[in-house]
Amino acid sequence: MVDDKICIGCGTCINMCPVGAISFDKNGKAKIDPKVCIKCKTCQGVCPVSAITIKED
């Protein structure tokens, strides 16, 4: 998940996600589509402000 209060809307995670699971919501914050995400954790690693946490099921 993306913490809206921490995300600065830089777009890095959107550019790095290999399956295009992330987009901006209407407030300019990153949003992950759980139906598309393969939990590779790339976004979690590249976010400059550590706004993303990917949990295993």
Q: Contact with ligand SF4 (CB under 6 A): which of 1, 19, 23, 25?
A: 19
Number of residues that bind ligand SF4 (CB under 6 A): 26
Q: Contact with ligand SF4 (CB under 6 A): which of 1, 23, 25, 38?
A: 38
**Residue from 54, 56, 57, 55 nearest 17 by CA:** 54
Per CB under 6 A, does 45 bind ligand SF4? Answer: no
Per CB under 6 A, does 40 bind ligand SF4? Answer: yes
Q: DSSP states of 33-45 as a string? A: -TTT-----HHHH
